[in-house]
Structure 1
């Protein structure tokens, strides 16, 4: 009994009541996560998420920074760089110019997120096999949820929840506790971030890094005005700002452009030591980024690998995924007008569509109106300038770096950079709401809380709709169906090569090396030396043992993507196969198991589904 009395005394007199108040909030957050995952969870549905996950698994298994998802453009870069260096890559005594006979080095993903995921997969050691019998992972004997996808979702949700207290303390530092509490609640109720949490993308890790950058800038600005950390405190914070920007750049290359507003901020508000602070930040940023850029340049001749050429993608010269699927890209026709048109068209969409609904809610309208109001606190005013600088830079980076990924999955993709500034936009928008609320005459003081509740309800309406019927189907089909992918992968040996229109999914779910569908099925009769066909890989680099086409190709536009694509196109090959009810004689993969058509086409070199 004395123990119980002491416990009650600590709860009543000590700080225990604070923990009792926090406990219901934590339980509410956990309940919210459970309900959302039950109602709104979906297996990975983006190329970037599966690509990063399979690279992370290779890292976790000790295979180095390699990939099973082979881009033809990556083959081109590796081969071209080897020729420039006068080398011929070999696996043992066998020439391997395409790096296909062994593990293929990854040239597409920055290392930050895959390294973090590799640690997670190494720690958890998930079962990568699809389950059709275990509850929760299956439904009535059908595949329902993929365990590794779900574990990555939980990890990203932990990152999101970790960002909420960071936003709370940042809002309290810039404004007051009222703005801090409401900002934290609205961030928790922003459905856009929950969708990013189940996407498997690096966005929430990058969000935490960006918040770390903002905190370093806030503390640095305060230290310049009112030193309290000693002689070297401001230099440590300047180095921290450079480190956060560098780490963010190694998580998503476009994030590195934020070094520009960081440097401008230091030049404007760095005080008497602004030049030294600017150089310190730049030096730390360069020290973090340079080794990885050197690795990419040594392998491919491009500092950011295949991502170096993202500015060329979705221009009139290289529409859709043409560049990534090309074995012999033509860069002789590049001209500035193509890039200007891309920038102009994408900026128009960002300004008219993305900016007005920044952060997934209309609180951004409060932020935009609040730009007309000044702040007495210099730190708050200067951070708003920094935020505006970040918005401008990210708009330009997003417009120029936009590729077909943004067309395939609008908003929830790795090219959505503006979502990173959404928490700060939310904080400044909430501050204007409180400013207006204080000036509105209310019948009684308690009505203030009712207005705040209605405001929160309106902002969080998209989240509330998730809990209403219909329930989200977690299977991302078409085109991704893990049981089918693992069935095909089970026919293949570990070192054999597959070609598919969803090679990232074959790499992640099937754990087999898979090359992206080439631009053409057969070589152009007018240019026998053309290297853009299936045979350019099959005959000269490595035999392809299976072809797997999903509704991405089988359900493509008939006229523009099949008929007008030409006689050498995959559409023509599919039509010829369907009309003749057999695979054309010139194609080496002639065996097909019944039951796949018409949604999918699976061809192999022999009847691999028959057990010996």
Structure 2
């Protein structure tokens, strides 16, 4: 086991300085406001939570309006005359037509989003004081909305924590070279930096996912050394359950984790039970809320299945008949297969343009010397396969940043294993003098391929950022914050 030592402090300090510098440039100079509807959706719900209104949303979805009003005792398909007639009858009895505690069209309870990212934003909003109405207006000459910067700042914080966590975890799994190289590729990848200021929950998911891998690795190591591995396995289950609470798409890799735990740890099938119980405990309250508000366990989150199948979630969200599936079964199968193939075609882009991450699939054929490292790669693969299926179903944007695109979670670990595999091949070269040259050349070339788009644009980003520091450049097309 390669424990962190004083020898690794200098690389760590270099990584930390570069991480803070590049993230600072992205946040202060290259951020132009929230640019995805999902980030805006999370932010407006977090605003309502900070104001003491609970998980309520101002994003009106017809299917939720119909469901909520029906459960409150109002048939929304009645004519205006019939509704007024019912209203008059109830008024004569001293009652209202609809109980506002059960249904309020101006404060619909959200059943679409996972709560953890929203609650984190709400807590920061509350501490910053932006829950007060007068602070939610655009002031001064700045064209960037202040709470937008706060949301982006939260994402940046988790990006920094994720990179530092990956450094520690990969240093323990491999060595300082692989840990440093992997973290450098994360810092210099345009896609990672876009997610870092997007306001999407991917960076928080990556933080919990990385520690889930850490505890899984610890459990495998303890098993090889005939030590107790149940508690690390439960720690891994807690981390992956937090991934699920940050984004519902995390349920797919969680399913892969449960399958792997059930197969890898003997007696077979027994050790997936603690993980399943942990997941159910974490999901109990959201499921209860969804059940009470919509009648279903998954609420309106269920209808996001149409995002990948039809390319547009609103097709289902705007449907007035709950439970209808506006797509033929044959087309469902075809769409899922096509989307899985598309995920494969765009794997390089969705992994952050990290060349050695693609080598992970070849590294599966390589047997690493340490059993826990060798088994961890199969655990990661077991989570990645169902994640690809989930992304095929729930993601309309097959490339770029998207709420349902989580290839970025696997990118650091794919890169680490791919790098270890390539370096092992180089180490077998008969000419010992060429080994160090080949190692340095491969790592430098891979790093240049990843970082070149950022490095070429960095002078322009800094120059424009300095010139527009007082007002900023807003996202286009603009929106009402």
TM-score normalized by structure 2?
A: 0.83
Question: Which residue of the partner structure matches residue 306 of structure 2?
Answer: 312
Which of 408, 428, 433 is matched with 1:419 structurally?
Answer: 408
Q: Which residue does 1:245 correspond to in 2? A: 240
- The question of whether the paired residues in 2 share the 8 Å contact of 1:36 and 1:466 is answered with no
CA offset digits 1:289-317 (Å, max 9, x no partner):
1221121011101212111122234646x
Q: Which residue does 1:435 correspond to in 2?
A: 424
Aligned 8 A contact 1:364 1:426 in 2: yes
Higher relative contact order structure (alpha carbons within 8 Å, sequence separation ≥ 6): 2
- Verify the 8 A CA contact 2:185 2:450 in the aligned structure 1: yes
* Equivalent residues of 2:223, 2:229 under 8 A apart: yes
1:469 aligns with 2:460: yes
1:195 maps to 2:194: yes
Partner Cα separation in structure 1 for residue 128 and residue 121 of structure 2: 10
Evaluate the alpha carbon distance shift between residue 385 and residue 239 of structure 1 in structure 2; reply closer, same or farther with a 3 A threshold: same
- What's the offset of the Cα at 1:257? 2.3
2:65 — aligned with what? Answer: 75
Post-superposition CA distance 1:354-374 (Å, at most 9, x none) = 357523322223223323322
Change (3 A) 1:131 1:434: farther
In the TM superposition, what whole-angstrom CA distance separates every residue of 1:190-224 from its partner, at most 9, and x where no partner exists?
22111001111001001111112111211111222
Q: Is the 8 A contact 1:179 1:434 kept in 2?
A: no
Cα displacement (A) at 1:19 = 7.1
Q: Number of residue pairs matched?
A: 447
Give the equivalent residue in structure 2 for 1:95: 97
> Deviations 1:521-544 (Å, cap 9, x if unpaired)?
xxxxxxxxxxxxxxxxxxxxxxxx
- Determine if the alignment matches structure 1 residue 395 to structure 2 residue 388: yes
Q: Name 2:340's counterpart in structure 1.
A: 347
Tell me whether 278-287 or 443-452 shows the greater mean CA deviation: 443-452
Cα deviation, 1:394-420, whole Å, max 9, x if unaligned, reads 1101111224xx27xx42110102221
Name the CA distance, whole Å, in 1 between partners of 2:325 and 2:365: 48
- CA 1:314/1:432 → structure 2, altered by over 3 Å: closer, same or farther? closer
Distance across 1 between alignment mates of 2:8 and 2:338: 53
**Structure 2 gap segments, 5+ residues each:** 76-85, 466-471
Give the superposition deviation at 1:238: 2.8
Cα distance in 1, alignment partners of residues 290 and 264 from structure 2: 35
**1:330, CA displacement in angstroms?**
7.5
Deviation at 1:156, TM superposition (A): 1.2
Measured in 2, the distance between the counterparts of 1:59 and 1:75 equals: 20
Change (3 A) 1:43 1:446: same
CA-to-aligned-CA distance 1:156-184 (integer Å, 9 cap, x gap): 11211111222122222222222122222
Q: 1:238 to 1:321 in 2, by over 3 A?
A: same
SS at match of 1:69: coil
Provide the residue aligned with 1:365 in structure 2.
358
Larger strand percent: 1
Mark the CA change 1:221 to 1:313 in structure 2 (over 3 Å): closer, same or farther.
same
1:106 match: 110
Match of 2:317? 324
Deviation, structure 1 residue 445? 7.5
Residue 467 (structure 1) shift = 0.6
Q: Which digits, 9 at most, give the CA deviation of each residue in 1:246-290, with x for residues without a partner? A: 222221112112232222222222134x54422222111111112
Q: 1:277 aligns with which of 257, 271, 287?
A: 271
Distance of 1:259 and 1:23 partners within structure 2: 33
**Structure 1 residues 320 and 257, CA, compared in 2 at 3 Å: closer, same or farther?**
closer
Residues 1:129 and 2:137 aligned together: yes
Q: Deviations over 1:529-563 (max 9, x none)?
A: xxxxxxxxxxxxxxxxxxxxxxxxxxxxxxxxxxx
Give the Cα separation in 1 of the matches to 2:169 and 2:325.
50
Greater CA drift, 307-316 or 56-65: 307-316
Q: Does 1:62 align with 2:62?
A: no
Deviation at 1:38, TM superposition (A): 4.2
C-alpha distance 358-279 of structure 1, shift in aligned 2 (>3 A)? same
**Cα separation, 2, equivalents of 1:345 and 1:428:** 28
Q: Which of 370, 377, 382 is the equivalent residue of 1:384?
A: 377
For residues 223-244 of structure 1, the C-alpha deviation after alignment (integer angstroms, 9 at most, x for no partner) is: 222244xxxx533223223222
SS of 1:164's equivalent in the other structure is helix
Q: Residues 454 and 333 from structure 1, CA distance in 2 versus in 1: closer, same or farther, beyond 3 angstroms? A: closer
2:448 paired with 1:457: yes
Post-superposition offset of 1:64: 1.0
- Note closer, same or farther for the CA distance 1:94–1:378 as it changes in structure 2 (3 Å cut): same
258 and 450 in structure 1: CA distance in 2 versus 1, 3 angstrom threshold: closer
TM-score normalised according to structure 1 size: 0.66
CA distance, structure 2, for counterparts of residue 424 and residue 148 of structure 1: 33
Structure of greater Rg: 1
2:79 maps to none
Counterpart residue number, 2:254: 259
Matched, 1:48 2:31: no
For the Cα contact (< 8 Å) 2:156–2:196, is it kept in 1?
yes
SS in 1 for 2:197: helix
